Structure 1
Amino acid sequence: MTHIKKKPETLASIVLKYQELLRLPQSSGSINLKKHYFKVFALIRPTISSSTYQVKFEYQGGRIPQVWVCGLLSKGTSSSEIPHKFSVDEKKNQVHICLFRTKYSEFDSQSSLSKNIIPWTCEWLHFYELYLITGNWYGNGEHPNGKKRKTEN
Protein backbone atom coordinates (compact mmCIF):
# COMPACT_ATOMS: atom_id res chain seq x y z
CA MET A 1 0.00 0.00 0.00
CA THR A 2 1.39 3.41 -0.98
CA HIS A 3 1.03 6.27 1.46
CA ILE A 4 0.75 9.80 0.13
CA LYS A 5 2.99 12.14 2.07
CA LYS A 6 1.20 15.37 3.00
CA LYS A 7 2.92 18.66 2.30
CA PRO A 8 3.59 20.85 5.32
CA GLU A 9 1.09 23.64 5.76
CA THR A 10 2.23 26.91 4.24
CA LEU A 11 2.35 30.22 6.08
CA ALA A 12 -0.17 31.58 3.58
CA SER A 13 -2.63 28.85 4.57
CA ILE A 14 -2.17 29.65 8.26
CA VAL A 15 -2.73 33.37 7.63
CA LEU A 16 -5.91 32.58 5.64
CA LYS A 17 -7.27 30.52 8.56
CA TYR A 18 -6.45 33.38 10.93
CA GLN A 19 -8.24 35.88 8.67
CA GLU A 20 -11.30 33.59 8.46
CA LEU A 21 -11.69 33.74 12.24
CA LEU A 22 -11.12 37.50 12.37
CA ARG A 23 -14.29 37.90 10.27
CA LEU A 24 -16.35 36.65 13.23
CA PRO A 25 -18.20 39.32 15.27
CA GLN A 26 -16.14 41.18 17.85
CA SER A 27 -13.06 39.05 17.21
CA SER A 28 -9.49 39.77 18.13
CA GLY A 29 -6.37 37.73 17.96
CA SER A 30 -2.66 37.36 17.71
CA ILE A 31 -0.48 35.43 15.29
CA ASN A 32 3.10 34.21 15.54
CA LEU A 33 4.28 33.33 12.05
CA LYS A 34 7.62 32.04 13.31
CA LYS A 35 5.83 29.40 15.38
CA HIS A 36 3.03 28.88 12.81
CA TYR A 37 0.54 29.61 15.61
CA PHE A 38 -2.42 31.87 16.20
CA LYS A 39 -5.11 32.50 18.78
CA VAL A 40 -8.43 34.27 18.15
CA PHE A 41 -11.18 35.24 20.57
CA ALA A 42 -14.66 35.80 19.12
CA LEU A 43 -18.22 36.19 20.33
CA ILE A 44 -20.62 33.58 18.95
CA ARG A 45 -24.40 33.49 19.26
CA PRO A 46 -25.54 30.16 17.81
CA THR A 47 -29.22 31.09 17.34
CA ILE A 48 -31.25 34.28 17.55
CA SER A 49 -32.64 33.23 20.94
CA SER A 50 -29.28 32.04 22.31
CA SER A 51 -26.84 33.58 24.72
CA THR A 52 -23.60 34.99 23.34
CA TYR A 53 -20.45 33.02 24.15
CA GLN A 54 -16.81 33.98 24.08
CA VAL A 55 -14.90 31.33 22.14
CA LYS A 56 -11.14 30.94 21.87
CA PHE A 57 -9.71 29.30 18.75
CA GLU A 58 -6.09 28.16 18.87
CA TYR A 59 -4.28 26.79 15.85
CA GLN A 60 -0.80 25.41 15.35
CA GLY A 61 0.05 24.87 11.67
CA GLY A 62 -0.43 21.26 10.57
CA ARG A 63 -2.39 20.30 13.68
CA ILE A 64 -6.06 20.30 14.59
CA PRO A 65 -7.65 23.48 15.94
CA GLN A 66 -8.34 23.69 19.66
CA VAL A 67 -11.68 25.34 20.48
CA TRP A 68 -12.41 26.59 23.99
CA VAL A 69 -15.64 28.12 25.30
CA CYS A 70 -14.85 30.68 27.98
CA GLY A 71 -17.00 31.48 31.00
CA LEU A 72 -19.27 28.40 31.15
CA LEU A 73 -18.20 27.60 34.72
CA SER A 74 -19.10 31.08 35.95
CA LYS A 75 -22.68 30.47 34.78
CA GLY A 76 -23.20 28.02 37.64
CA THR A 77 -22.37 24.86 35.71
CA SER A 78 -19.82 22.50 37.24
CA SER A 79 -17.13 21.00 35.03
CA SER A 80 -18.58 17.49 35.45
CA GLU A 81 -21.97 18.69 34.16
CA ILE A 82 -20.63 19.87 30.80
CA PRO A 83 -20.99 17.11 28.18
CA HIS A 84 -19.08 16.40 24.99
CA LYS A 85 -15.78 17.97 26.02
CA PHE A 86 -12.12 17.01 26.00
CA SER A 87 -11.12 18.91 29.12
CA VAL A 88 -11.87 21.79 31.47
CA ASP A 89 -9.41 24.43 32.62
CA GLU A 90 -11.06 25.60 35.83
CA LYS A 91 -8.33 28.17 36.50
CA LYS A 92 -9.00 29.92 33.18
CA ASN A 93 -12.74 29.11 33.29
CA GLN A 94 -12.73 27.53 29.84
CA VAL A 95 -13.92 24.25 28.33
CA HIS A 96 -12.11 22.47 25.47
CA ILE A 97 -15.09 21.32 23.43
CA CYS A 98 -15.30 18.17 21.31
CA LEU A 99 -16.26 19.06 17.74
CA PHE A 100 -14.93 15.97 15.97
CA ARG A 101 -12.70 12.95 16.48
CA THR A 102 -9.24 13.08 14.91
CA LYS A 103 -9.22 9.33 14.30
CA TYR A 104 -11.91 9.82 11.63
CA SER A 105 -9.91 12.48 9.72
CA GLU A 106 -12.85 14.91 9.71
CA PHE A 107 -10.43 17.83 9.68
CA ASP A 108 -6.99 18.26 8.16
CA SER A 109 -4.69 21.22 7.62
CA GLN A 110 -6.15 21.78 4.13
CA SER A 111 -9.66 22.26 5.56
CA SER A 112 -11.29 25.66 5.81
CA LEU A 113 -12.27 26.75 9.31
CA SER A 114 -15.36 28.56 8.03
CA LYS A 115 -16.72 25.39 6.41
CA ASN A 116 -16.39 23.13 9.43
CA ILE A 117 -14.88 24.41 12.70
CA ILE A 118 -17.00 27.56 12.94
CA PRO A 119 -20.34 25.84 12.09
CA TRP A 120 -19.46 22.89 14.35
CA THR A 121 -18.77 25.33 17.19
CA CYS A 122 -22.18 26.95 16.67
CA GLU A 123 -23.82 23.52 16.67
CA TRP A 124 -22.00 22.53 19.87
CA LEU A 125 -23.21 25.70 21.61
CA HIS A 126 -26.78 25.11 20.42
CA PHE A 127 -26.71 21.49 21.65
CA TYR A 128 -25.22 22.69 24.95
CA GLU A 129 -28.16 25.06 25.44
CA LEU A 130 -30.61 22.24 24.70
CA TYR A 131 -28.71 20.05 27.16
CA LEU A 132 -29.14 22.66 29.89
CA ILE A 133 -32.92 22.61 29.31
CA THR A 134 -33.52 18.87 28.78
CA GLY A 135 -30.53 17.07 30.30
CA ASN A 136 -30.03 15.22 26.97
CA TRP A 137 -27.15 15.75 24.54
CA TYR A 138 -28.71 15.97 21.06
CA GLY A 139 -25.40 16.37 19.23
CA ASN A 140 -25.02 12.67 18.53
CA GLY A 141 -21.54 11.47 17.63
CA GLU A 142 -18.86 9.80 19.67
CA HIS A 143 -17.85 11.37 22.95
CA PRO A 144 -14.21 11.73 24.00
CA ASN A 145 -14.61 8.91 26.53
CA GLY A 146 -15.27 6.59 23.58
CA LYS A 147 -18.99 6.02 24.13
CA LYS A 148 -21.38 6.48 21.24
CA ARG A 149 -24.39 8.64 22.00
CA LYS A 150 -27.69 8.38 20.24
CA THR A 151 -29.87 11.33 19.40
CA GLU A 152 -32.85 11.46 21.72
CA ASN A 153 -36.29 11.31 20.12
Structure 2
Amino acid sequence: MKNIKTINLGLQNFAISKKFPSFRLFKDSHQNIYWIGKLQPSEKSPIYTVKIQYDPYQPKVFVLEPEILRSAPLRYGDNSLCLYHPNDNSYRPDMLISDTLIPWASEWLYFYNIWLEEGVWWGKEAPHSPISFTERK
Protein backbone atom coordinates (compact mmCIF):
# COMPACT_ATOMS: atom_id res chain seq x y z
CA MET A 1 0.00 0.00 0.00
CA LYS A 2 2.99 2.33 0.46
CA ASN A 3 3.32 2.59 -3.36
CA ILE A 4 -0.11 4.19 -3.77
CA LYS A 5 0.09 7.89 -4.52
CA THR A 6 -1.13 9.95 -1.56
CA ILE A 7 -3.26 13.06 -1.61
CA ASN A 8 -1.24 15.85 -0.06
CA LEU A 9 -2.27 17.55 3.16
CA GLY A 10 -3.17 20.81 1.44
CA LEU A 11 -5.68 19.16 -0.86
CA GLN A 12 -7.09 17.07 2.00
CA ASN A 13 -7.56 20.23 4.08
CA PHE A 14 -9.13 22.14 1.18
CA ALA A 15 -11.65 19.35 0.51
CA ILE A 16 -12.50 18.99 4.21
CA SER A 17 -13.00 22.73 4.70
CA LYS A 18 -15.31 22.90 1.65
CA LYS A 19 -17.52 19.94 2.62
CA PHE A 20 -17.27 20.25 6.43
CA PRO A 21 -16.62 23.90 7.31
CA SER A 22 -16.70 23.26 11.07
CA PHE A 23 -13.47 21.23 10.79
CA ARG A 24 -10.22 23.06 11.48
CA LEU A 25 -6.65 21.86 10.91
CA PHE A 26 -4.18 21.89 13.82
CA LYS A 27 -0.55 20.98 14.41
CA ASP A 28 0.66 20.39 17.95
CA SER A 29 4.13 20.84 19.45
CA HIS A 30 4.98 17.20 18.58
CA GLN A 31 4.19 17.87 14.89
CA ASN A 32 0.99 15.79 15.05
CA ILE A 33 -1.50 17.01 12.46
CA TYR A 34 -5.23 16.68 13.03
CA TRP A 35 -8.63 18.16 12.33
CA ILE A 36 -11.31 18.85 14.90
CA GLY A 37 -14.89 19.47 13.89
CA LYS A 38 -18.54 18.88 14.67
CA LEU A 39 -20.85 16.17 13.35
CA GLN A 40 -24.54 15.69 14.00
CA PRO A 41 -25.65 12.51 12.24
CA SER A 42 -29.38 13.17 12.71
CA GLU A 43 -31.64 15.91 14.04
CA LYS A 44 -32.27 13.90 17.22
CA SER A 45 -28.63 13.08 17.94
CA PRO A 46 -26.24 15.22 19.94
CA ILE A 47 -23.58 17.27 18.21
CA TYR A 48 -20.33 15.34 18.43
CA THR A 49 -16.84 16.82 18.47
CA VAL A 50 -14.62 14.60 16.33
CA LYS A 51 -10.85 14.50 15.90
CA ILE A 52 -9.20 13.08 12.80
CA GLN A 53 -5.57 12.30 13.44
CA TYR A 54 -3.78 12.65 10.10
CA ASP A 55 -1.62 9.93 8.67
CA PRO A 56 -1.81 9.49 4.90
CA TYR A 57 -1.94 5.70 5.26
CA GLN A 58 -3.86 5.22 8.51
CA PRO A 59 -5.73 8.24 9.78
CA LYS A 60 -7.59 7.66 13.04
CA VAL A 61 -10.96 9.08 14.05
CA PHE A 62 -11.80 9.79 17.69
CA VAL A 63 -14.94 11.19 19.32
CA LEU A 64 -13.90 13.83 21.87
CA GLU A 65 -17.35 14.70 23.18
CA PRO A 66 -19.82 13.72 24.28
CA GLU A 67 -17.98 10.70 25.58
CA ILE A 68 -18.67 7.41 23.83
CA LEU A 69 -19.49 4.49 26.12
CA ARG A 70 -16.58 2.12 26.67
CA SER A 71 -18.85 -0.79 25.79
CA ALA A 72 -19.65 0.65 22.34
CA PRO A 73 -18.86 -1.77 19.50
CA LEU A 74 -16.53 -1.23 16.58
CA ARG A 75 -13.68 0.62 18.26
CA TYR A 76 -9.99 -0.09 18.57
CA GLY A 77 -8.06 -0.33 21.84
CA ASP A 78 -7.03 3.33 21.55
CA ASN A 79 -10.77 4.25 21.34
CA SER A 80 -10.56 5.27 17.68
CA LEU A 81 -13.56 4.29 15.58
CA CYS A 82 -13.44 1.17 13.43
CA LEU A 83 -14.87 2.59 10.22
CA TYR A 84 -13.71 0.02 7.67
CA HIS A 85 -11.92 -3.30 7.43
CA PRO A 86 -8.23 -2.44 7.07
CA ASN A 87 -7.59 -5.03 4.36
CA ASP A 88 -10.50 -4.35 2.01
CA ASN A 89 -9.08 -1.15 0.44
CA SER A 90 -12.23 0.85 1.19
CA TYR A 91 -9.86 3.57 2.44
CA ARG A 92 -6.59 4.27 0.65
CA PRO A 93 -4.21 7.24 0.81
CA ASP A 94 -5.29 8.33 -2.67
CA MET A 95 -8.81 9.06 -1.36
CA LEU A 96 -10.18 12.24 0.16
CA ILE A 97 -10.90 12.10 3.89
CA SER A 98 -13.90 14.35 3.23
CA ASP A 99 -15.40 11.66 0.97
CA THR A 100 -14.59 8.68 3.17
CA LEU A 101 -13.67 8.95 6.84
CA ILE A 102 -15.85 11.91 7.79
CA PRO A 103 -19.06 10.52 6.24
CA TRP A 104 -18.20 7.09 7.68
CA ALA A 105 -17.71 8.64 11.13
CA SER A 106 -21.09 10.34 10.85
CA GLU A 107 -22.67 7.02 9.87
CA TRP A 108 -20.91 5.32 12.81
CA LEU A 109 -22.36 7.96 15.15
CA TYR A 110 -25.82 7.50 13.64
CA PHE A 111 -25.73 3.76 14.36
CA TYR A 112 -24.17 4.41 17.77
CA ASN A 113 -27.23 6.47 18.73
CA ILE A 114 -29.53 3.67 17.61
CA TRP A 115 -27.38 1.19 19.55
CA LEU A 116 -27.80 3.34 22.68
CA GLU A 117 -31.59 3.16 22.31
CA GLU A 118 -32.05 -0.41 21.08
CA GLY A 119 -28.94 -2.29 22.20
CA VAL A 120 -28.36 -3.60 18.65
CA TRP A 121 -25.73 -2.40 16.16
CA TRP A 122 -27.61 -2.07 12.86
CA GLY A 123 -24.65 -0.76 10.86
CA LYS A 124 -22.52 -2.82 8.51
CA GLU A 125 -19.78 -4.94 9.99
CA ALA A 126 -17.06 -6.78 8.14
CA PRO A 127 -16.33 -10.16 9.70
CA HIS A 128 -12.71 -10.33 10.80
CA SER A 129 -10.63 -11.35 13.74
CA PRO A 130 -9.77 -8.69 16.34
CA ILE A 131 -6.91 -6.53 15.13
CA SER A 132 -5.16 -3.66 16.78
CA PHE A 133 -4.61 -0.42 14.91
CA THR A 134 -0.83 -0.90 14.90
CA GLU A 135 -1.24 -4.27 13.15
CA ARG A 136 -3.01 -2.60 10.22
CA LYS A 137 0.09 -1.27 8.41
TM range (shorter): 0.7 to 0.9
Q: Deviations over 1:74-127 (max 9, x none)?
A: x7x3x1x11111124xxxxxx310100111111111111122111111100000
Is the contact between residue 57 and residue 65 of structure 1 (CA under 8 Å) also seen in structure 2?
A: yes
Q: Secondary structure at the match of 2:10?
A: helix
Contact preservation (8 Å) 1:87, 1:97: no
CA 1:134–1:110: 2 relative to 1, 3 Å: same
Gaps of 5+ in 1: 89-94, 147-153
- For the 8 Å contact 2:4–2:94, the answer to whether it is kept is no
Q: Which residue of 1 is the match for residue 3 of structure 2?
A: 6
Counterpart selection for 1:71 from 62, 65, 72: 65
- Is 1:87 matched up with 2:69? no
| Count of equivalent residues | 127
Change (3 A) 1:31 1:116: same
Structure 2 residues not aligned, in runs of 5+: 131-137
Superposed CA RMSD in Å reads: 2.6
CA distance in 1, matches of 2:85, 2:117: 26
Q: For residues 97 and 5 of structure 1, what CA distance do their matches in structure 2 show?
A: 23
Describe the shift of the 1:120–1:27 C-alpha distance in structure 2 as closer, same or farther (beyond 3 A).
same
Runs of 4+ in 1 over 3 A off after TM superposition: 143-146
TM-score (norm 2): 0.78
TM superposition score normalised by structure 1: 0.71
Find the structure with the greater CA-based Rg: 1
Alignment counterpart, residue 115 of structure 2, candidates 121, 125, 131? 131
